[in-house]
Amino acid sequence: MTLDEIIEVIGVKPFYQEPAGVIYCADCLDILPRIPDKAIDLVLTDPPYGVRKTEEWDDEDHFCQFIAKWINQLRNNSDRLIWFCAGKMIPYILKTRPPSDFFRLLIWNKPAGSQYNGASHNNLWYSMEPILLFGDREKWNEKGKASKMSYSIFNARTIAQNQMGHVTTKPLSLIKWLMEHHSNDSDIILDPFLGSGTTAVAAKQL
């Protein structure tokens, strides 16, 4: 399906729309069920982690209760899902899908000078972040136009909150790398937790 066809099927007025993409300002659980099965080429998202505890969705118990609602829906929407997460939540996340659905683990390494969390926990800075890949192995292998091999660990500095006005903005270079290696030109990419909009910017630039 084309993006225009998906927008028509969704039937909700977008917050923003242009030829390169569309943004809905809504609860993703209201929009995702409207998207036809397998209409999305790649889901690339950074959902609430369940570790900050400043809002309800950051509470660990709440996180564990609600992830199945959208991960199952996203897997209906797409054959491939890239998901930033916290290491402590991986056991809960893996319980939401059959073992065969897990494809690969990537690591975002945050070099010295980055903004870290967790130094009060056993005197260890949380200087890395897991990235989980779910989906059909054949679908993963047929996607991606990168011309050279790379590694499963990526180095990228964090983005300060005062730079983008968002507490967990992801580096544009990292998001673009993931797109280049795991999608093709003109693919439709979905981010149900858009945050500061990095996924949208990366997709438009590519």
Averaged pLDDT, 122-143: 83
pLDDT in tens, 37-95: 999 999 999 887 655 556 665 566 777 777 878 888 999 999 999 999 888 888 888 88
Token pair in block for residue 140:
């993963």
DSSP state of 12: S
Pairing of strands 102-109, 153-155: parallel
pTM for the full predicted model: 0.87
The Cα-based distances of 102 to 81, 83, 95, 125, 132 in angstroms read 10, 11, 11, 27, 8
As a whole number of angstroms, the distance between CA 194 and CA 166 comes to 11
